Amino acid sequence: MDVRDLSVSYGTTKAVDKVSLHINSGEIFGLLGPNGAGKTSTLSAIEGLLKPDSGTVLVDGVDVQRHPAQAMSKMGVQLQATSFQAQLRIKQIVQLYAGLYGVQLSDRQITEGLNAIGLGHETLKLFKQLSGGQQQRLSLFIAVIHDPVLLLLDEPTSGLDPQSRRQLWSGIEHLRDQGGSILLTTHSMEEAQAVCDRVAIIDHGKVLATDAPDKLIEQHKDDPLVRQAARGAVTLEDVFIGLTGSEIRD
């Protein structure tokens, strides 16, 4: 995926300011930033939900603004707060989204797929009757149901217990190993360090630094602000605080 000079404004407020990103095949890329830094706006513009002021987003060579439907068919998306139609059962939700992505699945294939994520016995339940971890697993299953070349995950592990989080990480890494590109936003530096091959730190709509977590630590470990934030050995979180500041954002 290529994002070039992407800018998004809300009225006079510039939420994303000429952001450029490139994500390779078989790479997990993390977008890190404090609240209001422009992560979700960047992601929304990539997803085609927001019309950018300027810039282009190419997914597997397809321009998201010019050919949204074709671009969407190459993307899998897991939103921060996913919600499906409250009256639909799990199996019906899977059938709906398979149809939307042009994937024809038999009942047996749906059951096998749900079995693989541990939801084989929940096919007749409503989405709200699933636990948080089960909901996230189902959302991820639906996000990759059409075998996308790019997977976008907006804070995928927020609110999950450690077991569910680890399971989701394994799932994401498995997708990466199959050659997919993954862009995720997260507030968890532990998560970024554990699963991301590269990260970009974004604040006030601008990309401040992009590199592998270890390399970012190496590059910034001697910065005075990073040293000030460190409590022992320098971590990615210290680099993050050093670059974006320690004041609380709303």
Tokens of 214: 């270890």
Q: What tokens were used for 27?
A: 């790479």
Residue closer to other proteins (CB basis): 120 or 179: 179
Q: Of the candidates 73, 135, 157, 186, which one interacts with other proteins according to CB under 8 A?
A: 73
211, containing H or E segment: strand 206-211
Say if CB 67 and CB 236 are below 8 A apart. Answer: no
Contact positions with other proteins (CB under 8 A) in 27-56: 47-49
Stretch that binds other proteins, among 113-121, 142-150, 162-170, 203-211 (CB under 8 A): 142-150
Contacts within 8 Å (CB) and 24+ apart, 138-143:
138/90, 138/93, 139/78, 139/79, 139/82, 140/78, 140/168, 140/171, 140/172, 141/94, 141/113, 141/114, 141/117, 142/93, 142/94, 142/97, 143/76, 143/77, 143/78
Residue 143 or 217: the one with the smaller Cβ distance to other proteins is: 143
Comparison of 69 and 233: residue with beta carbon closer to other proteins: 69
Residue type, 112: E
- Of 16-24, 144-152, 196-204, 210-218, the window that binds other proteins (rule: CB under 8 A) is 144-152
Q: How many residues make up the chain in this entry?
A: 250
Please report whether residue 200 would count as binding other proteins according to CB under 8 A: no
User: Considering only 176-184, 191-199, 230-238, 242-250, which stretch makes contact with other proteins by CB under 8 A?
Assistant: 176-184
Residue numbers at the binding site for other proteins (CB under 8 A):
25, 47-49, 69-70, 72-73, 75, 77, 79, 81-88, 92, 95-104, 144, 146-149, 151, 175, 178-180
